[in-house]
Structure 1
Amino acid sequence: MLLTDTHTHIYYESEPGKLRDMMQRCFDHDIRRLFLPNVNVASIAMIDKMVEDYPENCFAMAGLHPCDVKEDYEEVLDLICESIPDRNICAIGEIGIDLYWDKSTLEVQQRAFSEQINWAKDLDLPIVIHCRDAFNEVFEVLEAAKDDKLRGIMHCFTGDLRQAERALELGFVLGIGGVVTYKNSGLAEVLKQIRLSDIVLETDAPYLAPVPFRGKPNESSYLKYIAEKIADIHQVTLQEVAEQTTANSVAIFKR
């Protein structure tokens, strides 16, 4: 069996021994593909070190997280963009709009989001979207950018069925993480109506740990609990979930 964590910040762990243990726990649970979203300039080196240490298992993205979009975002984007030719990246991400923490930066978030979508199109890469309290705003940008090159993952999807369908119509798959295991999230009911071919699995570690670790630091090895929940929702085997969601990730990232 082969499971794929399409979104993990495992590189935040700075203690080498703890990081090795985390990776070994992934391998012990058949999680051997980890995709690493970039958030700012500082995270580039951390991600590249993971890719260097685990070239068969870890894959890099490049992008500016919406919560890191400030007034100087153009300078920061230039630095991230300049790093891309020297890196073997698989996606532009994580990018998008976050209105949970600060609604005042919406305009610059929109501009940064649009610019990075254009990077992805120029490089023929998927995008990985962060969307928090901003579905309408994200969809507005995506509708304006819609063409046959626009594709990717709606990371940490927690929306309703109509929002799920709209994301799929725009050429995206849904990134499903620990929230699906939360009793009152409502996400399980939505996913009953979504095909396995339209989702990928993720942890977003160290955030949003699944049950039974809710409220504690998350890690990529906990992906198995998310996969088990999906298997239960769709009444299929864990093997089927692993095969389909990993195949979906390969189709998106081309690796």
Structure 2
Amino acid sequence: MILTDTHTHLYSEEFDQDRGEMMQRAINAGVSRFFIPAIDSTCTQAMYDLEQDYPENIFLMMGLHPTYVKDNYKAELAHVASQLAKRKFYAIGEIGIDLYWDKTHLKEQQIAFRQQIQWAKQYKLPIVIHCREAFDEIFEILEDEKSPELFGIFHCFTGTYEQALQAISYNMVLGIGGVATFKNGKIDQFLNRIDLQNIVLETDAPYLAPIPFRGKRNESSYLANIASKLASIYNCSLEEIAAITTANSKRVFGI
């Protein structure tokens, strides 16, 4: 059984004390493919170091996270552009709009999101979308940019059934993580109406740990708990969830 964590921040300082053991726990749990989103320029070297340590398992993205879009966003975007020109990445991410913490830089977030979508089309890469309290703003830009070249993952999907269908209409699959295990997560109530072909698994470690670890540090081994919850929701085997979602990840990322 091969599980794929399509979104995990394994370079996070939260893992500095036990990264090796944490990685081994994940691999022992059947998680052998880890896709690593970028945040901003300060994490780039740590991502490269992680890739060097686990070359068979680690697949890197490049992008500017919306909550890190500040007054210096043009310099950060220039860094993204320079890295994309240098080497291979498997996605542009994580990118998008976040209006939960701060609405001050909405305009700059919109500019950065649109620019990075255009780079994804240029490099023929998927995008990995971060959306928090910004579905309307995200969908507005996706509507403008939609094309056969636009595809990717709607990371940490927490919207409604209607929003799920809208995301899928833009060639996105839904990244499903720990929220699916929460009693108040709500997505578990309609997820079985979404074809499994449109689902990938993720942890977003070290954030959003699933039940029974909610409130603690998340790690990629807990992907097995998320997969088990989906097996219950879809009334199928864990092996089937693993096989289908890993195949979906290969279709999106090309590896």
Structure 1 match to 2:204:
204
TM-fit CA distance, 1:81: 1.1
**Once the two structures are superposed, what CA deviation does each residue of 1:48-105 show, in whole Å capped at 9, x if it has no partner?**
1111111110000000000000122111100121022333210000000000011121
Question: Structure 1 pair 218/14, CA: closer, same or farther in 2 (3 Å)?
Answer: closer
**1:98–1:130: 8 Å Cα contact kept in structure 2?**
yes
**1:227–1:242: 8 Å Cα contact kept in structure 2?**
yes
Match of 1:252, SS?
helix
Aligned residues: 255
Question: Does residue 1:61 correspond to 2:61, yes or no?
Answer: yes
Question: Structure 1 pair 206/15, CA: closer, same or farther in 2 (3 Å)?
Answer: closer
**1:13–1:19: 8 Å Cα contact kept in structure 2?**
no
Code of the residue aligned with 2:248 in structure 1: it is N
Structure 2 match to 1:41:
41
- Structure 2: any 5+ residue segments left out of the alignment? none
**2:126–2:152: 8 Å Cα contact kept in structure 1?**
yes
**Once the two structures are superposed, what CA deviation does each residue of 1:207-229 show, in whole Å capped at 9, x if it has no partner?**
00000000011001100000000
Cα distance in 1 between the residues matched to 2:168 and 2:61: 22
Structure 1 match to 2:26:
26
Report the TM-score when normalising by structure 2: 0.98
**2:14–2:206: 8 Å Cα contact kept in structure 1?**
no
Cα distance in 1 between the residues matched to 2:161 and 2:144: 22
Match of 1:94, SS?
strand
Cα distance in 2 between the residues matched to 1:191 and 1:4: 19
More displaced 10-residue stretch of structure 1: 94-103 or 187-196: 187-196
Cα distance in 2 between the residues matched to 1:164 and 1:77: 29
Structure 2 match to 1:154:
154
Structure 2 match to 1:251:
251
**1:157–1:174: 8 Å Cα contact kept in structure 2?**
yes
Q: RMSD of the TM alignment (CA)?
A: 1.0
**1:92–1:116: 8 Å Cα contact kept in structure 2?**
yes
Question: Does residue 1:178 correspond to 2:181, yes or no?
Answer: no
Question: Does residue 1:89 correspond to 2:89, yes or no?
Answer: yes
Cα distance in 1 between the residues matched to 2:240 and 2:155: 22
Percent identity of paired positions between Structure 1 and Structure 2? 52
Report the TM-score when normalising by structure 1: 0.98
TM-fit CA distance, 1:16: 5.5
Structure 1 match to 2:226:
226
